């Protein structure tokens, strides 16, 4: 039978923005997928070269608009490393709390988009958004902004947490734990959902490592790799937490890993608040100044466990500006695995696989 070539995207309901997939179909079976990217390319890496160090964080937030704080923090941490600025223990805990809240918000967004891509007429989507909004309200309390925070400063964050922030957060987390059970009843106990997810889009350990995927995709294959544990930053090593791994490598494992990660993040936030009380140092960092201290290291590289996988930034310093910044965005690498995973599946499965890989096209294109 002759192959049908269909062009999915860049304008398509479930390409998460502007992904364009050229798919060769044999009947209903996928023979080959060719992702075309670059529809959202803004040249962030080049833009950074024209700005002073601390003028760039607002650009960084737009790299991954679902989890803006992760990229913001990564950039500021890279600059801190280059300039040789230390982050105090207290500021470290504060950043950890904000980052984990951001991770939960991002994962809730993702649960919604997965159910939507599987065809659940927006119910899971709206539920995910409802709970994400509560987290965003907390972040707004702490930072002053709902989505694009620009909250990181050299050596700390913009301002102290508000007085009732801890109380509100703990209350919200208890509420969220109740909601997670609701999601389980509603989504994971649905036999059709299991049918669509289990055994679909399997990625073996070897392939996962060779393709360089990170984050929940890698952990769902059974590789115990989490930057927070393997290469700890801030005060993650003082906390007792375990990266969650499953071994099937299919869609369902990717989904479950993320659900467990939300629960783990809730635990991390609780512990961090407990330890924050006895932590030393100053939470507030240096005010933003155009002229910053001279770089100590000419080259700095920092890696972080962003919600979507391992994000890295490689910075070569000029005197007052970045000479070159290179970004390893996790979704770009994960997207490269799509053809390998989805080959041989039916067309309907392409979208569930694409959804569980968690694509944010802004992050892919940078």
Partner 1 sequence: MLIDNLTGYFYSGLNSPNILVSILFVIIYAIIISILMSVFAYVFGWVERKMIAKTQYRHGPTYVGKYGIFQNLADFIKLLSKEKMVPGNADRFLLNVAPVLLVSITVFIIFLIPFSPYLQASNLGLGLLVIFVFLGFTPLLLFVAGYSSGGKFAELGAQRSVLMLISYEIPMIIVVATVGFAAGSYNLNSIIRMQSTLPYAILMPIGLIIFFIAMLAELERPPFDLREADSELIAGWLTDISAPYYALALMLDYTRMFMGSLIIAILFFAGWSGPILPGIFWLIIKAFIISVFIIIVRVTVVRMRIDKILKLGWMYLLPLSLINLLLTLIIVIL
Q: Is residue 328 at the binding interface for partner 1, with CB under 8 A as the rule?
A: no
Residue of the chain from 36, 38, 42, 123 that contacts partner 1 (CB under 8 A): 123
**Conformational region of residue 25, where left means phi above 0, alpha means psi within -120 to 50, and beta covers everything else:** beta
Residue of the chain from 64, 80, 100, 117 that contacts partner 1 (CB under 8 A): 117
Q: Is the peptide bond before 10 cis (omega within 30 degrees of 0)?
A: yes
Q: Is residue 3 at the binding interface for partner 1, with CB under 8 A as the rule?
A: no
The β-bridge relationship of strands 20-26 and 29-36 is antiparallel
Residue of the chain from 38, 58, 84, 119 that contacts partner 1 (CB under 8 A): 119
Number of amino acids touching partner 1 (CB under 8 A)? 33
- Identify whether the C-beta of residue 227 lies closer than 8 Å to the C-beta of residue 303: yes
198 DSSP assignment: T
Least Cβ distance, residue 215 to partner 1 (angstroms): 23
Residue closer to partner 1 by CB (options 28, 237) is 28
Q: Is residue 351 at the binding interface for partner 1, with CB under 8 A as the rule?
A: yes
Q: Determine whether 101 is exposed, middle or buried from the number of CB atoms within 10 Å of its CB (0-12, 13-18, 19+).
A: buried
Residue of the chain from 122, 144, 298, 344 that contacts partner 1 (CB under 8 A): 122
Residue closer to partner 1 by CB (options 195, 210) is 195
Choose the stretch contacting partner 1; rule: CB under 8 A; options: 55-63, 116-124, 256-264, 315-323: 116-124
Residue of the chain from 121, 240, 277, 278 that contacts partner 1 (CB under 8 A): 121
Residue closer to partner 1 by CB (options 25, 33) is 25
Residue closer to partner 1 by CB (options 158, 356) is 356
Residue closer to partner 1 by CB (options 122, 274) is 122
**Long-range contacts, stretch 257-264, CB < 8 angstroms, 24+ apart:** 257/216, 257/219, 257/220, 258/107, 258/110, 258/111, 258/216, 259/111, 259/180, 259/183, 259/184, 259/188, 261/103, 261/107, 261/216, 262/103, 262/104, 262/107, 262/108, 262/176, 262/180, 263/177, 263/180
- Identify whether the C-beta of residue 270 lies closer than 8 Å to the C-beta of residue 173: yes
Q: Is the dihedral of CA 337, 339, 344, 347 positive or negative?
A: positive
Q: Is residue 115 at the binding interface for partner 1, with CB under 8 A as the rule?
A: yes
Least Cβ distance, residue 331 to partner 1 (angstroms): 19
Residue of 214, 213, 209, 221 lying closest to 252 (CA atoms):
221
Written as six digits, the tokens of 134 are 């509560």
The residue count for the chain: 366
Q: Is residue 250 at the binding interface for partner 1, with CB under 8 A as the rule?
A: no
Q: Is residue 13 at the binding interface for partner 1, with CB under 8 A as the rule?
A: yes
- Identify whether the C-beta of residue 43 lies closer than 8 Å to the C-beta of residue 364: no
Q: Tell me, residue by residue from 177 to 216, as one string, x for binding to partner 1 by CB under 8 A and - for no binding.
A: ---------x---x-xx-xx--------------------
Least Cβ distance, residue 35 to partner 1 (angstroms): 17
Least Cβ distance, residue 310 to partner 1 (angstroms): 29
Choose the stretch contacting partner 1; rule: CB under 8 A; options: 24-32, 46-54, 202-210, 258-266: 24-32
Residue closer to partner 1 by CB (options 149, 193) is 193
What is the rounded CA–CA span in Å between residue 297 and residue 232? 21
* Residues of the shown chain interacting with partner 1 in the complex, contacts defined by CB under 8 A: 4, 6, 12-14, 25, 27-28, 115-123, 125-127, 130, 186, 190, 192-193, 195-196, 346-351
């Amino acid at each position: 039978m002759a192959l049908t070539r269909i062009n999915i995207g860049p304008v398509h309901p479930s390409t998460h923005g502007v992904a364009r997939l050229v798919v060769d179909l044999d009947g209903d079976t996928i023979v080959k997928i060719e992702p075309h990217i670059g529809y959202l390319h803004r040249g962030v890496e080049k833009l950074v070269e024209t700005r002073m160090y601390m003028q760039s964080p607002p650009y960084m937030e737009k790299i991954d608009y679902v989890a803006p704080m992760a990229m913001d923090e990564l950039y500021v941490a890279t600059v801190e490393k280059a300039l040789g600025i230390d982050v105090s223990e207290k500021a470290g805990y504060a950043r950890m709390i904000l980052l984990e809240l951001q991770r939960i918000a991002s994962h809730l967004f993702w649960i919604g988009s997965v159910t939507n891509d599987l065809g659940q007429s927006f119910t899971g989507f709206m539920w995910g958004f409802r709970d994400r909004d509560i987290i965003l309200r907390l972040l707004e309390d702490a930072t002053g902004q709902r989505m694009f925070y620009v909250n990181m400063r050299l050596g700390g964050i913009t301002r102290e947490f508000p007085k009732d922030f801890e109380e509100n957060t703990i209350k919200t987390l208890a509420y969220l734990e109740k909601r997670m059970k609701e999601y389980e009843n509603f989504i994971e106990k649905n036999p059709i959902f299991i049918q669509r997810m289990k055994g679909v889009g399997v990625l073996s350990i070897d392939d996962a490592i060779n393709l360089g995927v990170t984050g929940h995709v890698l952990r769902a294959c059974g590789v115990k790799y989490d930057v927070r544990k393997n290469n700890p930053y801030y005060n993650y090593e003082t906390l007792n937490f375990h990266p969650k791994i499953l071994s099937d490598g299919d869609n369902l494992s990717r989904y479950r890993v993320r659900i467990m990660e939300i629960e783990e993040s809730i635990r991390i936030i609780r512990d961090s608040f407990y330890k924050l009380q006895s932590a030393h140092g100053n939470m507030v960092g240096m005010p933003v100044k155009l002229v910053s201290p001279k770089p100590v290291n000419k080259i700095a590289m920092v890696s972080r466990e962003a919600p979507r996988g391992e994000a890295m930034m490689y910075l070569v310093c000029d005197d007052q500006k970045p000479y070159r910044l290179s970004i390893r965005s996790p979704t770009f690498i994960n997207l490269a695995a799509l053809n390998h995973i989805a080959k041989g599946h039916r067309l309907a499965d392409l979208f569930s696989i694409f959804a569980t890989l968690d694509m944010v096209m802004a992050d892919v294109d940078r």
